[in-house]
Amino acid sequence: MIVVRAPFRLPLGGGGTDLPSYYQKYEGFLITAAINKYMYININEPAIINKIKINYSKVEVVEINQIKEIKHEIVKEALNYLKIKRPLEISSMADLSAGTGMGSSSSYTVGLLKGLNQMLRRYISIQELAEEACKVEIDLIGKPIGKQDQYASAFGGILQLEIDTLGKVTVTPLKLEQETIYELENRLMMFYTNIERDANVILSEQSSKAKSDDNAVIESMHKIKEIGIEVKKKLLEGDVCAFGELLNEHWLTKKNVSKKMSNSKIDDWYDLAMKNGALGGKVMGAGGGGFMLFCVRNGKRKHLRKTLEDAGLRYMNFKFDWEGVKTLVNI
């Protein structure tokens, strides 16, 4: 039995420039992080049953020579990619559900591939694992997503990702002062909107506009990349207040990319937060629902939490994850 833990990610700047429709023309740059909320993958090789069983929100059972019948796309493509045809039971649990903007599908993919590679005694680097996850999700399944989620989940920590026009990702851990990390963990606050949505719809629209060279969208994406570079600078300087203000600038810019990124409810919550202690914020992932993140002014943490909880949002505490994908059990 193999049990793997893969963290969810927290975008900090430059999000969206990791989409192929953008980086293939202009290169991508972003700052991202992993947090201590996890996807857990359990892989077991049953001693008797000669089938493949997948447990998630549904239960699937197929013959080992009928992998093409599997409905769970990530499992199907991962098994095909690694040429696995043997009895297996794959189960998953997560701290956060799908559709919340936290990159759950990529955490699942990274965790699954880590476990399957370990089962095969196929030892690859973290970079290779992240790229395999990208290949499964982007190339084989065809999801309109970028490379940020897979790399953040695989590596952990706070990272700078640079993506060239060929898709090669250069990973540089951001070496922040410990006090800056503590301050970020204290001043970043996450709230759940109780709205789940399909990120692929929003990302498809964003990718289509970028591919069609929509001038307004491209200019907004260039601005988002510039903000990502500035985020790096301010974090290295330990200026969390300036980082919070950049979050606000990023959100206002990103709303120009897709009208589906926000709605009247989200706008009302955002405005309420800005009037009650937030320096800036954003909706996690593609937008449209899920979690909202805010950077709060010093001394306003309790007030902002009460205000947003009274408005119907649910607070979630978190810290950064520094280990990335990790095998917890291998017996």
Rg of the chain's alpha carbons, rounded to an integer? Answer: 20
Each domain of the chain, given as residue ranges in start order, spans: 2-175+321-330, 178-316
Does the 178-316 domain belong in CATH 3.30.70.890? yes
Tokens read off for 3: 């049990």
Give the C-alpha separation, 179 to 307, whole Å: 27
Check residue 209 and give its pLDDT: 57
The answer to whether 5 touches 328, Cβ cutoff 8 Å, is yes
Low-confidence ranges of the chain (pLDDT < 70): 197-213, 286-287
> Which pLDDT score, from 0 to 100, does residue 212 have?
61
Write down the pTM of the prediction.
Answer: 0.93
- Residues 287, 258: contact at Cβ < 8 Å? yes
Q: How far apart are the first and last CA of the chain?
A: 5
pLDDT number for residue 275: 98
Tokens of 256: 């120009």
Architecture per CATH, 2-175+321-330: 2-Layer Sandwich (3.30)
Q: Enumerate the β-bridge partners of residue 296.
A: 278
Pairing of the two strands 158-163 and 326-330: unpaired
CA angle (291, 252, 295) in 5-degree steps: 50
Q: Both tokens of residue 329?
A: 């059990």
How much is the pLDDT for 219?
A: 94
Please report the pLDDT score of residue 48 as a whole number.
Answer: 78
Q: What is the rounded distance in angstroms from the CA atom of residue 191 to the CA atom of residue 164?
A: 34
HSE-up of residue 41 (Cα within 13 Å, Cβ side): 29
